[in-house]
Structure 1
Amino acid sequence: MRKITASLFIALDGVVDAPDQWHFPYFSDDMGATVAASMDRADTMLFGRETYDSFAGAWPVREAAGGEDAGFAKTIGDMRKIVLSHRPLTFTWRNSEQLQGDFVEAVTALKNEPGGEIALSGSVSVVRQLLAAGLLDELHLLVHPIAVRKGTRLFDEGDAPIPLALASSTVLDKGVVHLVYTPSAAAPEAGYEEAKQHLPQ
């Protein structure tokens, strides 16, 4: 079964909105290598419509311009791109299509197809749906040392907690921490009586 991984730039206060307004001062060579590595493992990208529109408005132009990022732009252009939207869409960016049918059924079928990993970049609404449905295999958070204090946060209000397990953590240049989480079967249960056993005596 194919793995679905989601990567997000996130501030200390959980904000994932408009990273172009606060993320770039923290970009570094090792962050670039981290982002590139996740793309190297994938041959398909899954998008929400707004994130797709942002990508489609920028990366084809950068590919055509032939600048330093043209190679990365070509990599994204050559990948299969699947967009989640409730309204019919038309595409001008190559290898783009719309997710058809029920979300859970369609994504489950996609995971069962042969191929490499399925990657998400941004697309917070899609990440939330995948987490709620138990379809996300890895959540990569690049935590930036800044509290943005306004904008959309990764986790919205909800009735049930979403338990996760920390798979790895890496400190990058400029104070960014790369955290990788995987789904956890259930949230651990304990109270103060259990916790106080770990206090200094």
Structure 2
Amino acid sequence: MTARKVAAGLFVSLDGVVEAPETWHFPYLNEEMGAAVGWANAALIEGDVIAAVKELKQQPGGTITLAGSPTGVLDLTYRPV
């Protein structure tokens, strides 16, 4: 079995800011936007994210999407998953 891919996306303002999206992005989040970005089948991972993603990669399914966290993207980019 081939491991699933992890695709990362960030919330970025028009002027390139990725920090503190909760101050400018989430007031506009509703069900329509959640459906548009594919959050219908989303889960919040708490604790050891690297271990959780390693486990998810071994399960059948499509691409695993990480959204909204510059720190999470860096962790998954520079630490073996």
- Normalising TM by the smaller chain, what interval? 0.5 to 0.7
1:5 counterpart letter in structure 2: A
Judged with a 3 Å threshold, the aligned counterparts in structure 2 of structure 1 residues 129 and 111 are, in CA distance, closer, same or farther, namely same
Query: 1:127: Cα distance to partner?
Result: 1.2
Task: Provide structure 1 residue ranges, at least 5 long, that are not aligned to the other structure.
Answer: 22-53, 64-69, 86-101, 136-201
Greater RCO structure (CA 8 Å; 6+ sep):
2
Give the fraction of aligned pairs with identical amino acids, expressed as a percent: 32
The alignment status of 1:80 with 2:26, answered yes or no, reads: no
The alignment status of 1:131 with 2:60, answered yes or no, reads: no
Instruction: Determine the structure 1 residue equivalent to 2:53.
Output: 107
Q: How does 1:28-43 map to 2 (within 5 A)?
A: none
For 2:20 and 2:51, the matched residues in 1 are separated by 30
Task: Provide structure 2 residue ranges, at least 5 long, that are not aligned to the other structure.
Answer: none
**CA root-mean-square deviation:** 3.0
Moved over 3 A (4+): 18-21
1:108 counterpart letter in structure 2: K
Query: 1:133: Cα distance to partner?
Result: 1.0
TM-score by length of 2: 0.62
Q: How does 1:8-157 map to 2 (within 5 A)?
A: 8=10, 9=12, 11=16, 15-18=17-20, 54=26, 59=29, 62-63=30-31, 70=32, 72-74=33-35, 75-76=38-39, 78-85=40-47, 102-135=48-81
Structure with bigger helix share is 2
2:52 counterpart letter in structure 1: A
Aligned length: 73
Instruction: Determine the structure 1 residue equivalent to 2:5.
Output: 3
1:119 counterpart letter in structure 2: T
TM-score by length of 1: 0.30
Secondary structure of the 1:81 match is coil
Query: 1:112: Cα distance to partner?
Result: 0.8
Larger Rg: 1
Query: 1:58: Cα distance to partner?
Result: 5.3
